[in-house]
């Protein structure tokens, strides 16, 4: 293709200028500033003294950081694998349906994903309400003792994980459905001519062919759930936020409640590194898997 | 395969389908329950037994929410910021996607790597410095301040790049033979040829923006500047502990995005699968 | 309408030469076909004229104007693409008008040209449709219309019929030939289909391996191919090639048969004898050679007989439509020696006088 290099560079520059301005301002600069801030004792707004790695070393023995870190890990464990599993089972069920029926059922599963977190919070806060929640009537019927779910530390994380799975599952279901549709019908037809039973069909054909999507869904969920804040914050209002602390919540507390910008930035950098390492590891694993194929 | 084993398999299949339907209904039940509760008078809401349909259907909580609270104001804030974020994200991302896909220029590869890198960076960790930045710019409690950090949306750029990559080279060459300059090629050929993906991306960007919680929650301290997603949870005094009123406000907050989804179901699902890197 | 001259034109992709010092003069109003197998450089050459590929070296003159450095839009040529490249979001009218509006032509003039082109191509009724609402043949015509409205110095066609089904291809071929006669404009047409080349062109440019093998009228390239490549590429079924040695006005083939050949080759040596199937006849009695029939193809008006000579070399002969020859038969073959060609080891051709 004949190209006018100088003109093309000029056009490209015009096209990417707005993007560069926005990314410079909202992405590159804040990232650099965050790392910088984490080495100072600055308040949220205003200058501070350089303190080296102090903010980081202090994290090591801190009880609140410990809680936040392990709660986040606990929440990830409770939500990622179960969420992926539930989504896959539902997708397999939905994929059996056809036409309008499928569209309708899919919409029922997908609708929660579309809702803002505060709506999800209101719905489940009401459904699981200690006094009037419909779930408690069900507990009564089954003879289970009522529990103030979001006020009890043991119940809090599992319940938030449950609500999160309910909220975000639609997204994973959608990806699984796309993966299932990509499996050619001929493969199933060939397999049924080979007298393959239902379970063998799933184990030997669907599951292996669906594996790339499963890996994708798990990774997306993992990276997403490491950054949990909204649900935990909302459900712990009026409860015991210090026991339910997660990493982003802790950043928020240090920065916006305790007005300690530097110390908050150190936590942010730690989380930043965790997410980046997980992303990079996952990227490499995927590349490895691809090459093995 | 014998006739009886075939029937058995059909039976198993039927049970699976039935289970799927039951789970689907249970899945959506909390939404239904929230809506129904919001249509009951407060004294019916707290009755100690399950009532799947209101005995007295009332809209009083909606009327209350719309007239006695700032929800109208929050609606305007949400619409303005979501529409603003959508327009800015879509337009800048389309331009960059086009440049990356169709033009050769120095530093093209580093730019692409920067965008891929921004995928990995959790914006939640940037809240401190976003706050400092927006505060220093004097944009706290403004629409612009709410919008600004929401403009990091590399997925939109990548989807655009992929779509422009897929346009056969012939079209570009035909346009060049037709004396069209770069901007005309973009705006008269490539952009209209990809209206579908633009619509899809715009709808989900709007939904994402409408639903964003953490940043609008931080960037706004004045109740009259809150977005609806933040407002309905932060200003509980306005409702007291009247469950039905709270639920009515929640229904109002979720309504626009739910409608957007129900009206453009196919577009939304297309954009969501695209954003995950799967060709829809 | 204009003359196009390529003067020692070359191009490389990296270190690979894809067009090597091509000289070619296309007369004004001429219909020239670039014919060659894929990878021969024929499309590249066309795209170099269009301006879609750079010309690394040499000069390109379009209507006397040096054009090798001009951008595509300013070369005053129009191109019809293989996949048509009709803008899917524009109506037929807008598709045709797009290029004219880009050079800010006045609206009434644009409309006049679109109407004229539509009338000429008999698609007045389709002007407000979109490409997706058209059949393959109609899209083809819109693509041509988009070229016509520009009133270019030359039309460039890049394998424009390859996406049509067989029947439509034959009809469109005739339409294109008619269009050329009516418009009397310079046309350059790239194809790998020799039927298209033979039926439509004034002259054929045969390319192979980034070089021009031969330039000539369809009958010239058919009856007097300049090289072994052209001889084998043109004609279907293709020419028979038999190895042998030439001495004193006769070829001795590997099966021992001697065939008189009045060919002015420079010296006695081993050559390949080339002869088209229609010049090899199944005959009664003694022929020039004989062999065993392997396959018989009845084509109606004639019959193709695939024969193996005693040394194992294969040859296709022709017989009448009602041939009684059966596989397994021994048949005698007679060569029409006025249609003999000899090729030396470098592929150079000599023709029977």
Q: What is the pLDDT of residues A25-62, one digit of tens each?
A: 999 999 999 999 999 999 998 888 999 899 999 998 88
Q: What is the pLDDT of residue B237?
A: 56
Mutate to test the interface with A, among B29, B92, B129, B145 (most CBs of A within 10 A): B129
Does residue C190 register a pLDDT over 80? Answer: yes
Tokens (6 digits) for A243 = 């026991």
Q: What is the pLDDT of residue A238?
A: 72
Q: What is the CATH number of the domain that holds A180?
A: 1.10.3720.10
* Residue A115 forms part of a structural domain: yes
Does residue B280 register a pLDDT over 50? Answer: no
Same domain flag for C117 and C256:
no
Strands C154-158 and C77-80: parallel
Q: What is the mean pLDDT of residues C20-26?
A: 91
In chain A, which residue's Cα lies nearest the Cα of B95?
A: A15
* Residue A91 forms part of a structural domain: yes
List, for residues C116-169, the tens digit of each pLDDT value. 999 988 899 999 999 999 998 899 999 999 999 999 999 999 998 888 888 888
Same domain flag for C83 and C99:
yes
Q: Which residues of C touch B178 (CB under 8 A)?
A: 73, 98-99, 102, 146
Q: In what order do the strands lie in the sheet with C77-80?
A: C77-80, C154-158, C186-191, C31-35, C203-208, C211-216
Contact A4 C54 (CB under 8 A): no
Does residue B157 register a pLDDT over 90? Answer: yes
Q: Is B103 on the interface with A (CB under 8 A)?
A: yes
Q: Which residues of A touch C51 (CB under 8 A)?
A: 2
Contact A166 B30 (CB under 8 A): yes
Q: What is the mean pLDDT of residues C285-313?
A: 92
Greater confidence, A223 or B5?
A223
Q: Is C72 on the interface with B (CB under 8 A)?
A: yes
The alpha carbon of B192 is separated from its chain's Cα centroid by a whole number of angstroms, namely 23
Instruction: Tell me how many residue pairs between chain B and chain C have CB atoms under 8 A apart.
Output: 59
Q: What is the mean pLDDT of residues C97-109?
A: 93
* Residue A29 forms part of a structural domain: no
Which of A178, A248, A276 has its CB closest to that of B124?
A248
Max intra-chain CA distance, chain A: 78
Integer CA distances (angstroms), B190 to A68, B199, B234, C227, in order: 48, 14, 44, 46
Which of the residue ranges B149-163, C92-106, C168-182 would you say has the lowest mean pLDDT? C168-182
Q: Is C73 on the interface with B (CB under 8 A)?
A: yes
CA of B102 vs chain A CAs: smallest distance (Å) = 9
CA of C2 vs chain B CAs: smallest distance (Å) = 18
Using CB atoms, list chains with 3+ pairs below 8 Å to chain A: B, C
Total count of domains within chain A: 1
The number of CA neighbours under 13 Å toward the Cβ of C85 is 26
Which of the residue ranges B17-26, B133-142, C52-61, C255-264 would you say has the lowest mean pLDDT? C255-264
Integer CA distances (angstroms), A39 to A14, A42, C16, C17, in order: 37, 9, 56, 59
Integer CA distances (angstroms), A68 to A180, B151, B248, in order: 37, 28, 34
List, for residues C192-213, the tens digit of each pLDDT value. 999 999 999 999 999 998 889 9
List CB contacts of A19: < 8 A, sequence separation 6 or more: B92, B93, B95, B96, B157
Residues B267 and B197 sit within 8 Å (Cβ to Cβ):
no
Q: Is C50 on the interface with A (CB under 8 A)?
A: no
Average pLDDT, chain C: 91
**In angstroms, rounded to a whole number, what is the distance separating the alpha carbons of residues A209 and A184?**
10
Which of the residue ranges A98-112, A138-152, A260-274, C318-332 would you say has the lowest mean pLDDT? A138-152
Q: Is C52 on the interface with A (CB under 8 A)?
A: yes
The band of A3, judged by pLDDT with boundaries at 50, 70 and 90, is low
Percent of chain A, pLDDT > 70? 98
Same domain flag for C90 and C167:
yes
Q: Which residues of B touch C102 (CB under 8 A)?
A: 178-181, 184
Q: Is A15 on the interface with C (CB under 8 A)?
A: no
Q: What is the mean pLDDT of residues C217-241?
A: 93
Does residue B204 register a pLDDT over 90? Answer: yes
Q: What is the mean pLDDT of residues B15-29?
A: 93
Q: What is the pLDDT of residue B8?
A: 63
Q: Which residues of B touch A33 (CB under 8 A)?
A: 129, 132-133
* Residue A83 forms part of a structural domain: yes
Integer CA distances (angstroms), A124 to A110, A130, A234, in order: 17, 11, 11
Does residue B3 register a pLDDT over 60? Answer: no
Same domain flag for C302 and C320:
yes
Which of A22, A31, A216 has its CB closest to that of B151?
A22
Q: Is A2 on the interface with C (CB under 8 A)?
A: yes
Same domain flag for C203 and C247:
no
**In angstroms, rounded to a whole number, what is the distance separating the alpha carbons of residues B210 and B23?**
28
In chain B, which residue's Cα lies nearest the Cα of C83?
A: B170
List, for residues B208-219, the tens digit of each pLDDT value. 999 999 999 999
Q: What is the mean pLDDT of residues A261-268?
A: 94
Does residue A293 register a pLDDT over 80? Answer: no
Q: What is the pLDDT of residue A158?
A: 94
Contact A8 B45 (CB under 8 A): no
Q: What is the pLDDT of residue A162?
A: 96
Q: What is the pLDDT of residue B276?
A: 80
Contact C71 A2 (CB under 8 A): yes
Instruction: Tell me how many residue pairs between chain A and chain B have CB atoms under 8 A apart.
Output: 268
Using CB atoms, list chains with 3+ pairs below 8 Å to chain C: A, B
Q: What is the pLDDT of residue B1?
A: 45
Contact B179 C73 (CB under 8 A): yes
Q: What is the pLDDT of residue B238?
A: 52
Other beta carbons less than 10 A from residue C57's beta carbon: 14
Mutate to test the interface with B, among C46, C83, C88, C98 (most CBs of B within 10 A): C98
Average pLDDT, chain A: 89
List CB contacts of A143: < 8 A, sequence separation 6 or more: none
Q: Is C81 on the interface with B (CB under 8 A)?
A: yes
Task: Quote helix, strand, coil % in chain A, to nearest 5.
Answer: 80, 0, 20
Integer CA distances (angstroms), A89 to A172, A174, A180, in order: 11, 12, 12
Q: What is the pLDDT of residue B236?
A: 65
CA of B180 vs chain C CAs: smallest distance (Å) = 6
Percent of chain C, pLDDT > 90? 64
List CB contacts of C233: < 8 A, sequence separation 6 or more: C35, C36, C37, C194, C206, C208
* Residue A209 forms part of a structural domain: yes
Domain residue limits at A102:
70-246
Residues A125 and A119 sit within 8 Å (Cβ to Cβ):
no
List, for residues A71-115, the tens digit of each pLDDT value. 999 999 999 999 999 999 999 999 988 889 999 999 999 999 999
Q: What is the pLDDT of residue A255?
A: 94
Q: Which residues of C touch A7 (CB under 8 A)?
A: none
Q: What is the pLDDT of residue C263?
A: 84
The band of A180, judged by pLDDT with boundaries at 50, 70 and 90, is very high
Q: What is the CATH number of the domain that holds C27?
A: 3.40.50.300
Q: Shortest CA distance to A64 belongs to which of A247, A274, A258, A287?
A: A247
Q: Is C51 on the interface with A (CB under 8 A)?
A: yes
* Residue A157 forms part of a structural domain: yes
* Residue A270 forms part of a structural domain: no
Strands C16-26 and C4-13: antiparallel
Q: Which residues of B touch C77 (CB under 8 A)?
A: 177
* The Cα angle at residue C325 between residues C223 and C318, in degrees rounded to 5: 5
Judge residue C244's burial from the number of C-beta atoms within 10 Å of its C-beta, 0-12 exposed, 13-18 middle, 19 or more buried.
Answer: buried
Q: What is the pLDDT of residue B240?
A: 56
Q: What is the pLDDT of residue B213?
A: 95
Same domain flag for C108 and C60:
yes
Q: Which residues of A touch B172 (CB under 8 A)?
A: 1
Looking at this predicted complex, what is its ipTM?
A: 0.90
Q: What is the pLDDT of residue A283?
A: 79
Same domain flag for C246 and C227:
no
Contact B170 C82 (CB under 8 A): yes
B105-138: b or e for each residue (b if 16 or more CB lie within 10 Å)? beeeeebeebbeebebbbbbbbbbbbbbbbeeee
Percent of chain B, pLDDT > 90? 63
Q: What is the pLDDT of residue B241?
A: 64
Contact C52 A4 (CB under 8 A): no
Same domain flag for C196 and C250:
no
Q: Shortest CA distance to C273 belongs to which of C227, C340, C332?
A: C340
Which residue in the block uniquely carries the two structure tokens 């770069």? B182
CA of B38 vs chain A CAs: smallest distance (Å) = 11
Q: Which residues of A touch B213 (CB under 8 A)?
A: 116-118, 230
The band of B10, judged by pLDDT with boundaries at 50, 70 and 90, is confident
Which of C72, C84, C102 has its CB closest to that of B184?
C102
Total count of domains within chain C: 2
Same domain flag for C159 and C107:
yes
> What residues of chain B have any CB closer than 8 angstroms to a CB in chain C?
168, 170-171, 173-181, 184, 188-189, 192-193, 195
Cis before C237 (ω within 30) = yes
Which of B170, B181, B192 has its CB closest to that of C81?
B170
Q: Which of C233, C264, C293 is the last residue of a domain?
A: C233
Which residue in the block uniquely carries the two structure tokens 């193809």? C297
Q: Is A5 on the interface with C (CB under 8 A)?
A: no
Q: What is the mean pLDDT of residues B250-259?
A: 94
**Portion 32-71 of B in contact with A at CB < 8 A:** 33-34, 37, 45-46, 48-50
Q: What is the pLDDT of residue C43?
A: 92
Domain residue limits at C251:
240-351
**In angstroms, rounded to a whole number, what is the distance separating the alpha carbons of residues B272 and B207?**
11
CA of C56 vs chain A CAs: smallest distance (Å) = 11
**Portion 111-170 of B in contact with A at CB < 8 A:** 111, 114, 118-122, 124-133, 135-136, 148-149, 151-152, 157, 169
* Residue A169 forms part of a structural domain: yes
Same domain flag for C109 and C210:
yes
Instruction: Tell me how many residue pairs between chain A and chain C have CB atoms under 8 A apart.
Output: 9
Residues A3 and A17 sit within 8 Å (Cβ to Cβ):
no
């Amino acid at each position: 293709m004949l190209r006018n290099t100088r003109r093309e560079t000029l056009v490209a520059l015009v096209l990417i200028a707005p993007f560069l301005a926005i990314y410079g301002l909202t992405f590159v600069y804040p990232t650099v500033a965050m790392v910088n801030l984490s080495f100072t004792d600055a308040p949220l707004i205003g200058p501070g003294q350089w303190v080296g790695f102090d903010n980081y070393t202090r994290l090591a023995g801190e009880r609140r950081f410990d809680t936040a870190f392990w709660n986040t890990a606990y929440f990830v464990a409770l939500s990622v694998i179960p969420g992926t599993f539930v989504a896959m089972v539902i997708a397999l069920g939905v994929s059996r349906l056809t036409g309008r029926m499928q569209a309708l059922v899919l919409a029922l599963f997908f609708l929660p994903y579309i809702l803002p977190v505060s709506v999800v919070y209101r719905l489940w806060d009401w459904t699981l309400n200690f006094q009037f929640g419909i779930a408690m009537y069900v507990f009564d019927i089954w003879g289970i003792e009522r529990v103030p779910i979001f006020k009890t530390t043991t119940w809090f994380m599992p319940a938030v994980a449950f609500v999160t799975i309910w909220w975000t599952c639609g997204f994973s279901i959608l990806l699984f459905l796309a993966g299932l549709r990509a499996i050619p019908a001929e493969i199933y037809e060939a397999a049924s001519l080979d007298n393959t039973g239902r379970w063998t069909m799933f184990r030997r054909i669907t599951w292996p062919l669906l594996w790339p999507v499963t890996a994708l869904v798990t990774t997306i969920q993992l990276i997403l759930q490491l950054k949990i804040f909204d649900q935990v914050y909302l459900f712990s209002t009026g409860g015991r936020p210090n026991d339910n602390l997660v990493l982003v919540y802790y950043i928020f507390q240090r920065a916006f409640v305790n007005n300690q910008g530097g110390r908050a930035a150190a936590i942010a950098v730690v989380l930043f590194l965790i997410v980046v390492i997980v992303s990079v590891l996952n990227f490499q694993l995927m590349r490895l898997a691809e090459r093995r194929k | 395969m014998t006739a009886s084993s075939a029937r058995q398999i059909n039976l198993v299949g039927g049970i699976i389908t039935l289970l799927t339907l039951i789970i689907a209904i249970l899945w959506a039940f909390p939404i239904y329950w929230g809506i129904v509760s919001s249509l009951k008078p407060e004294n019916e809401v707290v009755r100690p037994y399950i009532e799947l349909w209101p005995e007295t259907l009332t809209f009083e909580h909606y009327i209350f929410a719309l007239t006695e609270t700032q929800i109208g104001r929050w609606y305007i804030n949400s619409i303005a910021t979501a529409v603003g974020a959508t327009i800015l994200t879509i337009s800048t991302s389309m331009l960059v996607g086009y440049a990356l896909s169709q033009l050769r220029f120095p530093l093209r590869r580093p730019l692409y790597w920067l965008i891929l890198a921004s995928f990995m960076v959790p914006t939640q960790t940037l809240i401190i410095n976003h706050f400092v930045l927006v505060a220093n710019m004097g944009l706290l409690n403004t629409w612009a301040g709410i919008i600004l950090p929401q403009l990091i949306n590399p997925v939109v750029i990548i989807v655009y790049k992929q779509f422009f990559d897929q346009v056969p080279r012939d079209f570009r060459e035909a346009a060049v033979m037709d004396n069209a300059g770069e901007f005309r090629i973009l705006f008269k050929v490539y952009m209209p040829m990809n209206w579908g993906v633009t619509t899809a991306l715009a709808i989900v960007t709007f939904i994402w923006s409408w639903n964003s919680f953490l940043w609008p929650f931080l960037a706004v301290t004045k109740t009259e500047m809150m977005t609806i997603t933040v407002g309905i949870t932060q200003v509980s005094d306005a409702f007291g502990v009247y469950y039905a009123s709270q639920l009515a406000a929640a229904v109002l907050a979720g309504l626009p995005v739910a409608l957007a989804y129900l009206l453009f179901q196919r577009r939304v699902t297309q954009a969501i699968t695209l954003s995950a890197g799967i060709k829809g | 309408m204009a003359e196009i001259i390529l003067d020692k034109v070359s191009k490389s992709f990296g270190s690979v030469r894809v067009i090597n010092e091509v000289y070619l003069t296309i007369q004004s109003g001429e219909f020239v076909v670039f014919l060659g197998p894929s990878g021969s450089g024929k499309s590249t050459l066309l795209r170099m004229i269009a301006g879609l590929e750079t010309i690394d070296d040499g000069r390109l003159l379009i209507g006397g104007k040096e054009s090798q450095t001009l951008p595509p839009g300013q070369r005053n040529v129009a191109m019809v693409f293989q996949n048509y490249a009709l803008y899917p979001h524009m109506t037929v009218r807008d598709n045709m008008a797009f290029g004219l509006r880009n050079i800010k032509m006045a609206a009434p003039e644009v409309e006049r040209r679109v109407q004229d082109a539509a009338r000429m191509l008999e698609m007045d009724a389709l002007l407000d449709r979109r490409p997706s609402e058209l059949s393959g043949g109609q899209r083809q015509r819109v693509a041509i219309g988009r070229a016509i409205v520009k009133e270019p110095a030359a039309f460039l066609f890049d394998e424009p019929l390859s996406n049509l089904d067989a029947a439509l291809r034959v009809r469109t071929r005739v339409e294109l030939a008619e269009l050329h006669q009516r418009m009397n404009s310079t046309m350059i047409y790239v194809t790998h289909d020799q039927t298209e080349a033979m039926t439509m062109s004034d002259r054929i440019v045969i390319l192979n391996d980034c070089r021009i093998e031969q330039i000539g009228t369809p009958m010239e390239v058919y009856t007097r191919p300049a090289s072994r490549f052209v001889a084998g590429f043109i004609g279907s079924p293709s020419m028979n090639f038999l190895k042998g040695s030439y001495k004193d006005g006769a070829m001795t083939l590997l099966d021992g048969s001697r065939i008189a050949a009045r060919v002015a080759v420079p010296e006695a040596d081993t050559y390949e004898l080339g002869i088209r199937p229609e010049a090899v006849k199944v005959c009664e009695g003694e022929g020039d050679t004989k062999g065993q029939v392997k396959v018989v193809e009845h084509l109606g008006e004639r019959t193709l007989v695939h024969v193996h000579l005693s040394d194992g070399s294969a040859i296709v002969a022709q017989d009448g439509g009602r041939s009684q020859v059966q596989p397994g038969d021994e048949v005698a073959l007679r060569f029409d020696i006025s249609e003999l060609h000899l090729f030396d080891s470098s592929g150079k051709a000599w023709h029977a006088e």
